[in-house]
Structure 1
């Protein structure tokens, strides 16, 4: 199958590696000529160009650009695609993308691979990035069954676990487990940096180990991605942040009141709940 990838960063580059390993003919488009050259040199794609017309012969196109560029890039891409081309995206927000593109393209299926790294760009791309990871698809009732099957087959070949839901449900769910953690993690780093005693701050930086590394990782990632999460999933993110603030206030109150019994029960409860989110 001839597959096009628009956007050759971490996700697009990683898709290219896996799809080529399965024998697909993979074409890539990027805004920068240097990225195109790197993608070909690394073996992520067979051909790459800054010209969208390269994707005219693709049977399936994955749009892997930053969220803000998905819709405008698709609107430019339309001029080169036959109506039979199946188009999907990998944006971490789904409702605004599906609402904008679905009326323009019958064979569009919103998608979101829940896989990533702190690093970004084609240099960060890796093989088997999607193995064992959730991959959410958000087709609408009018989306052709044949188009859904094509995307499902490709996603399944990546070793990912497929989930279907409505775009709005997706956005509320990822606000809790993806977008909120980015903001919380960023706030953690900012709070640590607010220490006014330079010696204490230096000691904290030296003492930081696995616990801090785990809880701060996503807050130290690509700032553009965090900004796009907030901008395009604003209402769901605000809702989750407000709930988080409410829970922090409860913890502050328990510690101020030295209510160790209730605090212990609370920590036990969250400890029991964690495996429901992370195996």
Structure 2
């Protein structure tokens, strides 16, 4: 049974808004959709994310899922239009929205900002998924003028969508996402841009490492300009520190045989090891995983059969990556498992006829 009660109004039927609707409607939650774009709204209706608004709707919760430069204005309008409803938003910045609401003297007692740490490179209702938020953090940013109990309402929403509620003040949230989301977007985009003038032969050598690092570079530029402008004060220091680290690496590469250069390169790489070791595993703890590389034939059903047989062996996959070079007759599947499961899995897969490369 859903924890969310009453009618939920979603304003903005892009990726996040439509995904919220798709996650709530199967649980019996009454979801109303609205969007300035008739075509986006029609798609969201067709996908089953909610229903048309009615004049007599008694809205309990409004979820504002519009671009960041419109969020504050829409929040203010929804607070005025639905005087009994709690209003939240899912924008990726929190402080500037509060500041804009304060500047317009909007009563924010019924407003609490939130931000699900989930997304895709694709946008719009066509990219929406009911499971988009499963296992992902959903940040709640309460403020001093907020109504008691507001956080619990948004917590219920996050839990119904399979997310993990996390409480962070607006400024702390904005500083955190600068490190884990906003700066990485720029870094990925700048690195991917190196491929523009690369030769065909060079691009043909792109492997999983480059794909992993640049995956988010396919995101929509217009949206990210808004996000980066809103959070510039927190993103700039992160990039400044990165620039300093790059300068040190460049100095070492300019004279790779000079005293101290090997150490500088090793320190940079070791720092990366230390940083990535802090990223939580899917169960919320630091996990040291073991990777196995399995070669599969490039024929229909092979990947599904591999995953099924791993499941039948009772092994829990922590992560999976798939790589396929153009024209190659095989695919490369890297599975990440707990260390204690790795050796038995190699033996079992080999017995079942799979080619385990490492």
TM above 0.5, yes or no, is yes
Q: Show the counterpart of 1:261.
A: 263
Counterpart contact for 1:152–1:162, Cα < 8 Å: yes
Distance between the aligned counterparts of 1:234 and 1:92, measured in 2?
13
> What TM-score comes out, normalization by structure 1 length?
0.90
Give secondary structure in 2 for the equivalent of 1:276.
coil
The Cα shift of 1:116 comes to 0.3
Distance between the aligned counterparts of 1:81 and 1:41, measured in 2?
26
> What TM-score comes out, normalization by structure 2 length?
0.71
Which aligned pairs between 1:46-125 and structure 2 lie closer than 5 A? Answer: 46-47=51-52, 57-82=58-83, 84-101=84-101, 103-125=106-128
Q: 2:231 aligns with which of 224, 230, 233?
A: 233
Q: Show the counterpart of 1:10.
A: 15
Distance 1:91 1:55, change over 3 A: farther
Give secondary structure in 1 for the equivalent of 2:32.
strand
Give secondary structure in 2 for the equivalent of 1:47.
coil
2:184 matched to 1:184?
A: no
Distance between the aligned counterparts of 1:75 and 1:262, measured in 2?
52
Q: Show the counterpart of 1:198.
A: none
The structure, 1 or 2, with the larger RCO (C-alpha pairs under 8 Å, 6+ apart) is 1
Counterpart contact for 2:75–2:87, Cα < 8 Å: no
Cα deviation, 1:211-267, whole Å, max 9, x if unaligned, reads: 111111212211122101211011111111111111111111122231223322331
2:200 matched to 1:202?
A: yes
Q: Which runs of 5+ in 1 are unaligned?
A: 196-200
Distance between the aligned counterparts of 2:86 and 2:241, measured in 1?
39
Q: Show the counterpart of 2:39.
A: 34
Question: Which stretch of structure 1 is more off in the superposition, 179-188 or 70-79?
Answer: 70-79
Distance between the aligned counterparts of 2:273 and 2:15, measured in 1?
33
Cα deviation, 1:60-116, whole Å, max 9, x if unaligned, reads: 00000010111122233344211x210000000110112233642311111010000
Distance between the aligned counterparts of 2:277 and 2:222, measured in 1?
30
Structure with greater proportional helix content:
1
Question: Which stretch of structure 1 is more off in the superposition, 103-112 or 11-20?
Answer: 103-112
Q: Which structure has the bigger radius of gyration?
A: 2
2:210 matched to 1:212?
A: yes
Distance 1:54 1:18, change over 3 A: farther
Distance between the aligned counterparts of 2:168 and 2:52, measured in 1?
34
Give secondary structure in 1 for the equivalent of 2:44.
helix
Give secondary structure in 1 for the equivalent of 2:190.
helix
Q: Show the counterpart of 1:143.
A: 146
Distance between the aligned counterparts of 1:223 and 1:44, measured in 2?
26
Distance 1:109 1:34, change over 3 A: same
Distance between the aligned counterparts of 2:247 and 2:80, measured in 1?
53
Distance between the aligned counterparts of 1:273 and 1:38, measured in 2?
41
Distance 1:56 1:46, change over 3 A: closer
Counterpart contact for 1:94–1:171, Cα < 8 Å: yes
Q: Which runs of 5+ in 2 are unaligned?
A: 1-5, 282-358
Q: CA RMSD in A?
A: 1.8
